[in-house]
Amino acid sequence: MSGFVFSQKPIEIESGAGPYLTDTNGTQYLDMGASYAVASVGHGHPAVVQAVKEQAEELLFVQGSYPVAVREALREKLDAIAPGGLDNVWLANSGTEANEAALKFARHATGRSKIVAANRGFHGRTMGSLAATWKEKYKQGFGPLAGDFVHVPYDDPDALAAAVDEETAAVILEPIQGEGGIRPASTAYLERAREVTEEAGAALIFDEIQTGLGRTGTMWAHEPAGIAPDVLTVAKGLGSGLPVSATLVADWIAEDPGNHGSTFSGSPIVAAAAGATLDVIESDGLVENAGTVGGYLKSRLEELEGPREVRGDGLLLGVEVKRGANRHLKHLALDHQILALPAGRTVIRLLPPLIVSETHADETVAALAEVLE
């Protein structure tokens, strides 16, 4: 039963520091996957570790009905970086929980049930967010799922507009699809999504679980489109490895959210880790670094002869190959000590800690050049 639902890699990790992981044999690996974007400020950042230690000495846990300074401080920090109008913060423990909350809030506030999502989209593995997820592979054996979900082609403004009507509670979209192959939405698509949801009185939900907190070179991946959603979800890199997520909600949604709850919402320990992580992102200029180093990495990757295409923004990049992404990833890890991730069968996904440098980018490109040959 070792691993249970997880496939086991042939590398046993013992420690981590900055952009590196070290195995039990003492071999060091450059982590260009950041454990699915979780290690946003690097592994074991001293400021995050210290914040967790100090909070553990004061208070491990108290349920969310009681005001706690560290929890309130996190809410204030999230409010400060939230898109305009998203002044209400719901804390939870994972990305799928954040999306579950978003869908529940939208249905209750609108009194409607229909949810419009996109082909290739991925929103989580619990029953509601799984219904919003497109790929049948993730759903097999778990049905029946929550009903009244409709999927439309991604980045097709007309198809989206045709699906949204007076029965629609929400549209949920990733500004850049992650599991779907690192596919950015066009500005026109996001603008149309905002337009049609406003006309229908539906909520626009942006799933920034993977794309948020500076990864794409802006705090939020949807920012360049110049619009704001009604609900925004964030997780992964928020807690530097501790389980935490947030659903940021506009006032009109928060006025009638329904009877939602969670025992571990805003645990003091994870709130301390998340608050310290946000502080590091700001103080160390990691949003700007993601844009600069990500742009450099993308330009170097585009010089390679093997890939069909390089997609993405900042430090969320997908390298599409002809076939065998997993085979290439194995060679990257075992032969070059670089860890990366797949995004489907033909895409190598790079989403390293936001602290990586151009030297790390050069090392990755050189290794990929050899692997792809």
**How many structural domains are present in the chain?**
2
| 194 known member of a binding site | no
- Which of 259, 283, 307 marks a domain boundary? 283
Contact 262, 126 (CB under 8 A): no
| 217 known member of a binding site | no
> Does 8 fall in a domain?
no
Q: Looking at the predicted structure, is the pLDDT value of residue 1 above 50?
A: no
Q: What is the CATH number of the domain that holds 241?
A: 3.40.640.10
Q: How confident is the model at residue 373 (pLDDT cuts 50, 70, 90)?
A: confident
Q: Looking at the predicted structure, is the pLDDT value of residue 82 above 80?
A: yes
pTM for the whole structure: 0.96
* Paired strand residues for 20: 17, 30
pLDDT for the residue 81: 97
Residues 300 and 259 in one domain: no
> Does 122 fall in a domain?
yes
Residues 269 and 352 in one domain: no
| 239 known member of a binding site | no
Q: Looking at the predicted structure, is the pLDDT value of residue 353 above 50?
A: yes
259-303 residue pLDDT tens: 999 999 999 999 999 999 999 999 999 999 999 999 999 999 999
pLDDT for the residue 324: 87
| 209 known member of a binding site | yes
> Does 222 fall in a domain?
yes
| 208 known member of a binding site | yes
Q: Looking at the predicted structure, is the pLDDT value of residue 321 above 60?
A: yes
Q: What is the CATH number of the domain that holds 311?
A: 3.90.1150.10
pLDDT for the residue 256: 87
| pLDDT, mean of residues 123-146 | 95
Q: Residue 307 sits in which domain range?
A: 13-45+285-372
> Does 184 fall in a domain?
yes
| 266 known member of a binding site | no
Residues 96 and 206 in one domain: yes
**Which of the two residues, 305 and 319, has the higher pLDDT score?**
319
> Does 4 fall in a domain?
no
Lowest-pLDDT range of 4-13, 65-74, 122-131, 364-373: 4-13
Burial class (CB in 10 A: 0-12, 13-18, 19+), 36: middle
> Does 361 fall in a domain?
yes
CA 108 to chain centre: 25
| 359 known member of a binding site | no
pLDDT, averaged across the chain: 96
> Does 2 fall in a domain?
no
Residues 318 and 344 in one domain: yes
Residues 53 and 109 in one domain: yes
The 3-class secondary structure across the chain, one letter per residue, is: CCCCCCCCCCCCEEEEEECEEEECCCCEEEECCHHHHCCCCCECCHHHHHHHHHHHHHCCCCCCCCCCHHHHHHHHHHHHHCCCCCCEEEEECCHHHHHHHHHHHHHHHHCCCEEEEECCCCCCCCHHHHHHCCCHHHCCCCCCCCCCEEEECCCCHHHHHHHCCCCEEEEEECCEECCCCCEECCHHHHHHHHHHHHHHCCEEEEECCCCCCCCCCCCCCCHHHCCCCCEEEECHHHCCCCCCEEEEECHHHHCCCCCCCCCCCCCHHHHHHHHHHHHHHHHCCHHHHHHHHHHHHHHHHCCCCCCCEEEEECCEEEEECCCCHHHHHHHHHHHHCEECEECCCCEEEECCCCCCCHHHHHHHHHHHHHHHC
Q: Looking at the predicted structure, is the pLDDT value of residue 257 above 90?
A: no
- Which of 229, 263, 283 marks a domain boundary? 283
Residues 309 and 278 in one domain: no
Residues 271 and 305 in one domain: no
CA 2 to chain centre: 27
| 95 known member of a binding site | yes
Q: Looking at the predicted structure, is the pLDDT value of residue 29 above 70?
A: yes
Q: Looking at the predicted structure, is the pLDDT value of residue 107 above 70?
A: yes
- Which of 233, 250, 283 marks a domain boundary? 283
> Does 298 fall in a domain?
yes
| 126 known member of a binding site | no
Residues 289 and 230 in one domain: no
Residues 129 and 245 in one domain: yes
Give dist(CA 83, CA 85) in Å, integer.
Answer: 6
Residues 213 and 357 in one domain: no
Residues 104 and 218 in one domain: yes
Residues 201 and 246 in one domain: yes
